[in-house]
A = this chain, B = another copy of it.
């Protein structure tokens, strides 16, 4: 009878279950699937979770039922049991700095590919905000990428003891990090400048709390010594366009023929202010930066800069979080991210 009356309502067990799911206003669970596939919930969990651990026939039934009920696993329930949230945190000092775009994209790409979700927090360049943001998302993530962190080495170390941490553009003893090959980039830049006849150069430093600014400075200092070029450090300064603009006066006062800014944003600001004050770049002053961000090709003359592959940096950081051993420990100089000099119009003969 039942098989004959095709018009009969409510006979489809799947429909019955779906109705119940809708009624409780939620999503399908493994219990619903178990009921429809006529197996135990634990069997469903296994069929969905591990490949070969279940008979092909049962697995097929389970998958069909899951499909039918439009099942999505509840990440919270899974996380509660396993302790793994499949989420990764990315902490940035300043989201509006074009420098971070590449990092975000690379990290998101790699995270998504591995089935992880990326959560983002911004510290607005404040160490306090950063600590707060980290505390806030620490319980929800399996690991953390700190790009341009303003935290001290101690705080970073303690953090790394709690959860996997990977640093970008920062090295701390015992903590994984993704670093560009600063040496190589600086070498290329300095010989470029030397080749143009510059004998007196200034380095426009970033914030005091920036590890990378110090790193670049020490590298530049060494390269200058080696070439017998006069070098001065100016700063510290805010790592923004505004920071660059404000520094022009001191750069001029230093009477150098070329200036290397901590980052492209500062270099850009420097050039804008130079243009505003009638200082011709590169005729009267050569300017170079770091990172090769968006905008370096827009300005006139376009900016000479040391390119860093930020997308790869983001990818690597996430890879390292997911399977430790891929990235690089402090000062293990191979495996640094390649860096290359992009010569554009902002540098010229002295």
Contact = CB atoms under 8 A, between A and B. Distances in A.
30 contacts: A74-B80, A74-B139, A75-B139, A75-B140, A76-B79, A76-B80, A76-B85, A76-B140, A77-B80, A96-B102, A98-B98, A98-B101, A105-B122, A108-B120, A108-B121, A108-B122, A109-B122, A112-B133, A115-B136, A117-B137, A118-B119, A118-B120, A118-B121, A119-B120, A120-B120, A272-B297, A272-B298, A295-B298, A299-B300, A300-B300
A145 interface: no
Interface in A239-253: none
A188 interface: no
A139 B27 CA distance: 9
Which residue among A104, A109, A140 has the maximum number of chain B CB atoms within 10 Å of its CB? A140
A135 B139 CA distance: 23
Interface residues of A, number: 45
A138 B72 contact: yes
Given A72-B135, A98-B294, A272-B297, 18 more contacts: A73-B139, A74-B80, A76-B85, A76-B140, A80-B80, A87-B119, A87-B140, A95-B104, A95-B105, A96-B101, A105-B122, A108-B120, A117-B119, A118-B119, A118-B121, A120-B120, A268-B298, A294-B294
Contacts of A295: 294-295, 298
Contacts of A104: 95, 120
Given A72-B138, A112-B121, A101 B105 contact: no
Interface in A71-91: 72-77, 79-80, 83, 85, 87
Total copies of the chain:
2
Interface string A104-132: 11001100100101111110000000000
Contacts of A72: 135, 138-139
Interface in A31-68: none
Contacts of A73: 139
Contact of A117 (B108, B115, B136, B298): B136
Interface string A267-295: 01000100000000000000000000011
Contacts of A26: 83
A108 B89 CA distance: 13
Contacts of A96: 101-102, 105, 294
Interface string A157-182: 00000000000000000000000000
A8 to B, nearest CB: 29
Report the 7 A-B pairs with minimum CB-CB distance, sorted nearest first: A76-B79, A300-B300, A96-B101, A298-B298, A298-B299, A119-B119, A76-B80
Nearest to A119: B119
Nearest to A80: B76
Contacts of A118: 119-121
A140 B121 contact: no
Contacts of A135: 72
A271 to B, nearest CB: 9
A105 to B, nearest CB: 5
Which residue among A26, A27, A76, A135 has the maximum number of chain B CB atoms within 10 Å of its CB? A76
A44 to B, nearest CB: 17
Contacts of A119: 87, 117-120
